[in-house]
Every structure is written in C-alpha cells, then in structure tokens.
Amino acid sequence: MDQIKLITQLNSTSYVYHTKLKEMENKYPQLKKNDVRFTFFHKCIQVFDNILLLYIIRKYYLYDDDFYKKHKNGITIREGLEEQFKAEYGNDFNNWDNDEEEKKAYFYNLLANEIGSFTVFTFFHGIFVAFESTFRLMYPRIKNRELLNNISISNVLDELKLDLNLSDYSKFFDLLRKLRNSVHNNGVYTQHDDEIIWNGFEYKFIKNKPIDIENLWDKWFDIVNELITIMEIVFSKTKNVSTIPDPQITISKYL
C-alpha cells in the first residue's frame, strides 16, 4: 500500500474506533470506562496511532539529512547501521566508490524497509492481543466459571460463540487463529495445509511456508472493520452484564 494511503487509512481507522467507542460509552452509560468492552477500542487505537506515527516519521523525516544533522547529538541511527554494515561486509563498505549519496540512500532504504517489515506484523499482533484479552476477560462472567490457564483462544471463542450470537463468525475466528499462529512464527505457517475464503478473498496456508497474502495491509483493515461489528454484537448480547474490569487499565487513565 502506498505510504500516503496507508497514513490516511490508519488515521481514518483510528477516528472510526474513537467514534465507535464514544457511541458505545453513550449507549451503555452504566458501564465504567475500564470495562473490557470499552478498553478493547482503546488498545486498538493505541496500535493505530503508534503505527501511524512510525509511518509519518518514515515518510517525512527518515530521508531528511538536515533532521539528523540538527539532532546529531541525540540521534545516531545511521551510525549504528554503518557499524552493522561494516561488520557484515568489511572492506566492501570502504570500497563502495566513496559515493556518499549512494551510501546514504542504502542506509535510509534499509531503515525504511525495517520499519515496513516490523509494522506489518506488529499491527496485526497488537490488534489480536486486544481481541484475545477482551474475550478471555469476558469468559468468566459470561460462563459463570473460571477460565483455565491452559485453555486456547480457539476454545474460548468456541464456547462463547453461542452465548454471544457469533456462530456465523466461526470461519473468521479460524482465520484470525491461523494468522496469529503464523505471525508468532515470524510469518511462517506451521500447521497442515488449509485455505479459508473470507470477505471474497482466498487465504492460502501452506505448511512451513511464509504466509503470502496479496495487499496485506488492505486485509488487515478489513479485519479491524469486522471487529467493530463483532464488538457491537458483544455489547448487544451482554448489555445486562455489569462492568467487567480490565486489570491492565485504571479508570483515571481515561477520565
């Protein structure tokens, strides 16, 4: 995805989540602001905004030599990359035709690529962690029994689907699980071959192969949009369930 389009999409998605959060807070005023159904949105917004900040830096500051010169006493990113390159390539670095502009482009492109590689999976991981923790924290109140420490998120979702009227999302939950497992293995899928068709796209998973998904950022945004719909259903089905506190969040943080 083009950087400007990605920055715009991150910004607009953050706004949509902010708006939906306020809508739910107004609709369910009996719930405290540290309720897990609210904090899900807060945690996702943190992911959107932090990734957005990284891409703003990448787009508008990363290639700006004057920026590094101005802050040379505090920012030594390029120097660190040069040392890394020297360690790997030795004299090849010094024999690089002494072309300073070529060296500069190499290091800035290397850093830009590292940001791209880091954020594309960090984004999904952050969203999934927010989603998983929300359902794990809801489980004891909805099922009226404690959640076993070793129970998988797949089992949590399987048990809650009927209670929350989410049976139609079985395929979507399976997709999330396979993507999460792959992200945890540096993008490599390690289970048996499988394919899932969701939202008009065929996701192919091949054992011991990196996940290869066309227009991956577009798919991430499709997923976060679907999560809004799921949380609306959750609110509707649990409207009579009193506040479920999020132990990670203090009420004062959001007041």
The pLDDT of residue 210? 92
Per-residue pLDDT, averaged over 196-222, amounts to 93
The pLDDT of residue 141? 94
CA distance linking residue 182 with residue 191, whole number of Å: 9
Provide the phi-psi class of 98: left if phi over 0, else alpha when psi is between -120 and 50, else beta. left
Taking the C-alpha atoms of 165, 178, 199 and 172 in order, what is their torsion angle to the nearest 10 degrees? 0
73 compared with 241, residue with greater pLDDT = 241
The 10s digit of each residue's pLDDT in 148-193 is 877 899 999 999 999 999 999 999 999 999 999 998 888 899 999 9
137 compared with 147, residue with greater pLDDT = 137
Q: Where are the beta strands (DSSP E) in 31-73?
A: none
Integer Rg of the chain from CA: 22
The 10s digit of each residue's pLDDT in 62-112 is 877 787 778 777 766 666 666 766 676 666 656 555 566 666 677 778 788
Buried b (16+ CB within 10 A) or exposed e, 214-248: eeebebbbebbebbbebbeebbeebeeeebbebee
CB 201 within 8 A of CB 175: no
> Phi/psi of residue 114, each to 5°?
-65, -40
Q: What is the mean pLDDT of the chain?
A: 88
Q: Which of 72-76, 111-115, 232-236 has the lowest mean pLDDT?
A: 72-76
245 DSSP 8-state letter: B
CB 114 within 8 A of CB 78: no
